[in-house]
């Protein structure tokens, strides 16, 4: 990207990366202090990552490559606004984004782009922005955001407000996931938000409590129960072909649950990482999914 055009003693070329997620463990609407907030809990994944570099310039605008990454550009602009508030100095610059994250599938590709850009801007000025600030400006850049800025703990995140509903205080229980593609990619922002009835709101309250206990006890089976229930509730809003057959296959092979991207086209069979005969069980699951027409498959493991 060339030499840093601004004083080398105060700024530098910033570089950063951001993670992705693999759909949601829980997504719905939740009662908080008499109000209802849409929220989600994402499943961490290390299959892909977004990278960004930012070179500050004494200028009034930010340029981005490739030019179509407009959300990343907006993220960098908003991060520079935070820099100006902290330092009293205004900069533009040159942003370069490189990502291998598949688009519109439920991996959090746009959030990953935006986060990497925000982090790269902050790194250029030697700053670490608070996660709450990053969450707020990420939602402002995107309109709705995943919770990828909270990497060290599982959170229930109000993805259209940029605020935490609940921090569960630890990472999700570790699982091995057999991922699969369920259909056509989805434009998250054009996707009409689900409208939940009172019974569903009551159920989401129960699932939130169950997930809290699953995290505290590191209980993968209980987390899988939450994920499957959330998937079934959202089935009427974004249907997954052969969902009941997928759930039956999960039960047959001893998976703890089924999770999906509730505004995407990916899903996964979740296994306890420490399940005996995990390899043969996953291979049987692969065959059962292929029998249902799900030929696009991949595997990954969460946790350390």
- Number of compact structural domains in the chain: 2
Using DSSP, state whether 238 is helix, strand or coil: coil
Radius of gyration of the chain, Cα coordinates, nearest whole angstrom: 20
Q: Where are the beta strands (DSSP E) in the chain?
A: 14-32, 35-57, 62-65, 92-99, 155-158, 163-167, 175-181, 257-260, 266-272, 297-301
* pLDDT score of 8 more than 50: no
pLDDT (tens digit, 9 = 90+) per residue, 82-115?
Answer: 999 988 889 999 999 999 999 888 899 999 999 9
> Which of residues 117, 151, 166 is at a domain's end?
166
257 and 160 in a common domain? no
Number of helical (H) and strand (E) elements in the chain, helices listed first: 7, 10
The CATH number of whichever domain residue 218 belongs to comes to: 3.30.70.890
Residues 150 and 222 in one domain: no
Which domain CATH number covers 160? 3.30.230.10
Domain boundary among 146, 166, 186: 166
The 10s digit of each residue's pLDDT in 254-303 is 999 999 997 789 999 999 999 989 999 999 999 999 999 999 999 999 98
Instruction: Indicate if 46 and 109 belong to the same structural domain.
Output: yes
Parent domain of 59: 14-166
Quote the mean pLDDT of the chain: 92
Q: How far apart, in whole angstroms, are the C-alpha atoms of residue 76 and residue 54?
A: 8
Tokens of 174: 């570790």
């Amino acid at each position: 990207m060339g030499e840093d055009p601004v004083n080398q003693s105060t700024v530098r070329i910033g570089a950063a990366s951001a993670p992705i997620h693999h759909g949601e463990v829980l997504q719905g609407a939740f009662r908080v202090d008499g109000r209802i907030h849409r929220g989600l809990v994402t499943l961490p994944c290390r299959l892909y990552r977004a990278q960004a570099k930012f070179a500050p310039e004494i200028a009034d605008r930010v340029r981005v490559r490739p030019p179509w990454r407009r959300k990343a550009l907006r993220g960098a602009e908003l991060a520079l606004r935070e820099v100006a508030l902290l330092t009293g100095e205004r900069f533009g610059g040159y942003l370069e984004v490189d990502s291998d994250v598949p688009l519109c599938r439920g991996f959090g590709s746009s959030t990953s782009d935006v986060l990497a850009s925000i982090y790269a801007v902050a790194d250029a000025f030697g700053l670490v922005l608070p996660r709450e600030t990053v969450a707020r400006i990420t939602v402002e850049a995107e309109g709705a955001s995943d919770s990828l800025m909270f990497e060290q703990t599982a959170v229930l995140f109000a993805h259209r407000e940029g605020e935490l509903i609940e921090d569960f205080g630890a990472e999700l229980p570790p699982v091995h996931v057999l991922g699969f593609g369920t259909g056509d990619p989805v434009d998250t922002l054009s996707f009409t938000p689900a409208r939940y009835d009172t019974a569903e709101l009551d159920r989401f309250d129960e699932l939130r409590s169950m997930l809290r206990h699953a995290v505290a006890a590191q209980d993968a089976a209980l987390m899988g129960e939450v994920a499957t229930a959330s998937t079934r509730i959202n089935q009427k809003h974004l249907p997954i072909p052969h969902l009941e057959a997928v759930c039956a296959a999960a039960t047959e092979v001893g998976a703890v649950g089924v999770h999906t991207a509730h505004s995407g086209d990916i899903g996964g069979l979740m296994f306890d990482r420490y399940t005996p005969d995990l390899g043969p069980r996953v291979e049987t699951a692969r065959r059962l999914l292929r029998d249902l027409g799900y030929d696009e498959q991949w595997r990954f493991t969460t946790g350390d």
